[in-house]
Structure 1
Amino acid sequence: MRHIILFFIWLGIGQISYAQEVRYETVENISYVDETASAYAKEQCKLDIHYPTSGENNPVVIWFHGGGLTGGKKEIPDFLKEKGLVVVGVGYRFSPNVKVEDIIHDAAKATSFVMKNARKYRGDVDNIFISGHSAGGYLALMITLNKTYLEAEGLDADELAGIIPFSAQTITHFTARKEQGIDEKQPTIDELAPLFWVRKDAPPIILFTGDRELELLGRYEENAYLKRMLSIVGHEKHKLVEFQGYDHGMVYPGLPILVKEINRLVKEKE
């Protein structure tokens, strides 16, 4: 009996010691624009980074918040904290203060900042993933499929390890259509649609949506169309995950699967 008690005491101490080994810190309101930016850009274009203070080469996930490109705020989802990841929550400018094209450039600048500074926060520059919900997922797809946005920052979108958007708009975003005087229920595909930029050589893409019968407008079908077109052009690493029973606000059931998919993709590269 004494040996059993000692064993459990030892096990408990070991667990406490392990828990204390990895600590995390959050640095907030880091600007990713330079001094020539407008006052509005300096106010909005900031990011927060949650990272482990020990160890090296942790996968990085960049999270763009939702809000229709007209609102919202930068966030680091609680579920992603202390999962062995460097998590970056990005803020960006909003319509109608700026055009949708400008917001996409913000997303590219933020991603560029992370790609160039990941090592400072114990991140693995070879395993940087982009994610985000709704409008955030749209931004993730746009800066990956249309390589010109990151090229303007001196980077190659194909260096990203994977794109995992949550319920992203894949046709022209409704806010971009509004800029053109087009109703949100009138679907269009132009240069501001991820579908317009489908390409064979894009990084791995995993599309998350809510239930096709509960999602916002045709959001499931948009993602299914993108998946189909990726297959047609010969893109090899993509899939669509539908969270049945969940509507457009399917962030939580998606977050555990996001972590699982990041770990899988990292392991596949080893």
Structure 2
Amino acid sequence: MNHAPLTPQPPLPFPAAQRYEDTVLEWARGLDARSLRARDQAYGPDPQHRYDVFAADGMRGAPVLVFWHGGGWTNGYKEYVHFMAEAVIRRGLVLVAPTYRLAPGHRLPAAYDDAVLLLGELRRTVGRWGGDCRNLYLAGHSAGGGTAAMAALRKPALERAGVPPGDVRGCLPISGVMDLHHPCPGPGSLEERVYATLLERPCEDTLMSAISWTAGNLVPMVSSYGERDSARVIGANTRMHELLKRQPADAGLHAWTGLDHFDTHLALADPAHDWYGQLESLVARTCR
């Protein structure tokens, strides 16, 4: 699949992140383009308000998976998600791969606001490619997982965007960054980066964390992380799961043996990976 040159971004913070990016972008370049139905569709005024759509021929009324890329809210491209297209389409879903405004130029909640802006736009457009806007499934990796969870959990924001909250049928974040609060971030750490580049004010760390929005949740949430993920990702997802279990919607949590933070997304190159089975099962239970 041929891609236009990607807009340069700041250097990634450590080598493992760069290796991950190099891998998924190489996979995107090697994909068969026949399932790509739309590229660089605008959903807002900013150049980062863009999404790509993958679907099979003849799809009608198909559920829609929206998968947000990771990158710490400072980096990342929608092309990170392209390698998943075949496995998602094979299960009868339309795949939407968006990007969003990035920090520090656009600090949180910009990415979260963009997520609901996109869902409002899909309500009007996704039928062109055979998708059903009444059956939305939200997912993402790392920062994208946190963004997906915030989109699912912030019901007032969905309503303001013209999206009935009941149209979001499920959420499946992978290694999601769910808690931005840290009492004493170390110099040069990723936690310090949150306060230096992501937040408008340090006191907004809890407000911008998905773990703070679980009360009364009505969206089934199936979260996953890697056994070798960061301690903060593991801890936040575990604590959030305990909160979600006490809400009206179903909640599941899966720890994947032997995988680190980037492996949890790279593993989805296997179309038989358990995550796709979890997606398929959730759709079977909740799609109307």
Deviation at 1:109, TM superposition (A): 0.8
Larger displacement relative to structure 2 (118-127 or 163-172): 118-127
- C-alpha distance in structure 1 between counterparts of 2:171 and 2:36, whole Å: 25
Name which one, 1 or 2, has greater alpha-carbon Rg: 1
Structure 2 length as normaliser, TM-score?
0.74
Match of 1:171 in 2: 179
- Identical residues among aligned pairs (%): 23
Partner of 2:266: 252
Match of 1:56 among 55, 60, 66: 60
- 2-structure distance, mates of 1:167, 1:79: 16
Shift of 1:176: 4.9
1:192 alignment partner AA: M
Q: How does 1:102-113 map onto structure 2 within 5 Å?
A: 102-113=110-121
Distance of 1:160 and 1:205 partners within structure 2: 11
C-alpha separation in 2, matches of 1:260 and 1:71:
29
Give a deviation string over 1:193-246, Cα, whole Å, max 9, x none. Answer: 1111112342110001011xx2123211110101101123x3341100111100
Deviates more, 1:195-204 or 1:169-178: 169-178
Aligned to 1:26: 37
Counterparts of 2:114 and 2:243 in 1: how far apart (Å)?
Answer: 27
Take 1:153 and 1:176, find their aligned partners in 2: how far apart are those partners? 27
| Distance of 2:237 and 2:108 partners within structure 1 | 20
Matched, 1:116 2:124: yes
* Structure 2 equivalent of residue 155 of structure 1: 163
Per the alignment, residue 206 of structure 1 pairs with 222
Q: Deviations over 1:75-104 (max 9, x none)?
A: 233233242221111011110101111121
In terms of mean alpha carbon deviation, does 50-59 or 255-264 score higher?
255-264
Q: Say whether the 8 Å CA contact 1:86–1:123 is kept in structure 2.
A: yes
SS of the equivalent of 1:94 reads coil
Q: CA RMSD in A?
A: 2.3
Which residue identity is paired with 1:268? R
Any stretches of 5+ residues in structure 2 without a counterpart? Answer: 1-33, 182-190
C-alpha spacing 1:118/1:202, structure 2 compared with 1 (3 Å): same
User: What TM-score do the two structures reach when normalised by structure 1?
Assistant: 0.79
